[in-house]
A = this chain, B = another copy of it.
Amino acid sequence: MSNILGNLITLTVFGESHGPCIGGVLDGLPAGLAVDESYIAHYMEQRKAVSALSTPRREADVPQFVSGVRNGRSEGTPLTFMIPNTGTRSSDYDALAGIARPGHADYTAQAKYNGYQDARGGGHFSGRLTAVYVAAGSVLRKALEDRGILIGSHICDLCGIKDMAADQDDLSAEIRRLNDMDFAVLDSEAAEKMKDRILRAREDRDSVGGVLETFITGLEPGVGEPLFGSIESEISRAVFSVGGVKGIEFGSGFDMAHMTGSEANDSFAIRDGRVITLTNHNGGINGGISNGMPVIFRTVIKPTPSIGKAQKTVNFITEEEKEIEIGGRHDPAIIHRARVVIDSLAALVIADQLCMRHGREWLIR
């Protein structure tokens, strides 16, 4: 069930970049959950291509609901939506038949599907599919927000340009601030430098990647399941469905390789009658289960593989080596668009975990 995410709340994802539409079936929602189209639109907007930083391909990306919702409330039965593919220019891909674009899934799709795959624009492997995550995830994100659970991300590193650290003492306020931003960087100077770096990549007909840091606040202790249902297992399974993600770390992550136990262990303490930890190297998770501290993780987004620069590759149909320069309309960076995708996947996972604990009705209680 590789195109299905979740346990009690499930999302079935379908579509190809250059087909008539992409879409999703979101099932397991309690009846009566608010489906707030303007809320969803706000986050769909964050994922859209904006300004010179992104591809000139422009699409309205308004999910069209065809089942499971009426008058702004879920019906309880499968909620299905389509997002039409209006901005496709498949002719851009005509010249690419049989060409394995480096860094893309063209060759692996060929190896798997023997030429039957829709190769145009990456087909089912296109980043465009992430619009489905945002539409579905926003439904749950709203429900979580209404229950005091906030999710947000910033670009913490782009080609070595670092954002400032978020204020751990008021992380929820930081998240709210980020969720209103188009370009999610806390330090406005760093933001400008990052944008400049992206524009330079564009001029170079090249691209850049970066690291997103995601925060979840307001999560009670005790959420998550043992072993393969750990928060880390479920979030990582979700985010690695995004083609550009090549790594994830929780809390201090890879830095823990250089720490001792006495440094890495988070001491527990009691504040205002609540158990807290004095540091948060474990990213709010012990043994896969939330400990009540903010959940923190970082995902690395690789540089957009579609670049204009000449690249060596092969034509896997003619079995010849080739040099290509990818035409079409592409993003010099996707990280600023990817953050809402990661947030949305986190919302789907956390809502599912909470429903496994408390039942689906918890989402509307």
Do the beta carbons of A290 and B108 come within 8 Å of each other? yes
Given contacts A1-B27, A25-B14, A357-B359, contact A287 B209 (CB under 8 A): no
Residue A41 CB within 8 A of the other chain: no
Do the beta carbons of A312 and B111 come within 8 Å of each other? no
Q: Name the interface size band of chain A.
A: 35 or more
Contact for A221 among B111, B222, B286, CB less than 8 A: B111
* Bound CA–CA A124/B230 (angstroms): 13
Residue A218 CB within 8 A of the other chain: no
Residue A62 CB within 8 A of the other chain: no
Do the beta carbons of B1 and A4 come within 8 Å of each other? yes
Contacts of A10 in B (CB 8 A): 1, 4
Residue A321 CB within 8 A of the other chain: yes
Residue A45 CB within 8 A of the other chain: no
Contact for A314 among B25, B262, B270, CB less than 8 A: B270
Interface code A113-126, partner B: CB below 8 Å = 1, 0 otherwise? 11111100011110
Q: Which of A51-59, A164-172, A176-184, A298-306 contacts B (4 or more CB under 8 A)?
A: A298-306
Q: Which of A143-151, A185-193, A237-245, A336-344 contacts B (4 or more CB under 8 A)?
A: A237-245
Contacts of A236 in B (CB 8 A): 233, 236-237, 240, 248
* Bound CA–CA A5/B158 (angstroms): 35
Looking at A82, A102, A263, A319, the one whose CB has the most chain B CB atoms below 10 A away is A102
Contact for A256 among B68, B75, B246, B262, CB less than 8 A: B246
Interface code A246-289, partner B: CB below 8 Å = 1, 0 otherwise? 11111111101111111111111110010101100111011111
Do the beta carbons of A240 and B249 come within 8 Å of each other? no
Do the beta carbons of A286 and B27 come within 8 Å of each other? no
* Bound CA–CA A27/B12 (angstroms): 10
Number of copies: 4
* Bound CA–CA A148/B116 (angstroms): 24
Secondary structure of the A contact surface, majority rule: mixed
* Bound CA–CA A300/B246 (angstroms): 14
A269 to chain B, nearest CB (A): 6
Do the beta carbons of A253 and B300 come within 8 Å of each other? yes
Apart from A3-B227, A104-B286, A157-B257, 18 more pairs, CB < 8 Å: A1-B4, A5-B228, A15-B80, A31-B113, A76-B112, A77-B226, A103-B264, A111-B221, A111-B292, A206-B262, A246-B251, A247-B249, A247-B256, A256-B302, A257-B300, A264-B305, A267-B311, A269-B313
Contacts of A199 in B (CB 8 A): none
The residue of chain B having its C-beta at the shortest distance from the C-beta of A266 within the complex is B102
Contacts of A80 in B (CB 8 A): 14-15, 23
Looking at A78, A204, A355, the one whose CB has the most chain B CB atoms below 10 A away is A78
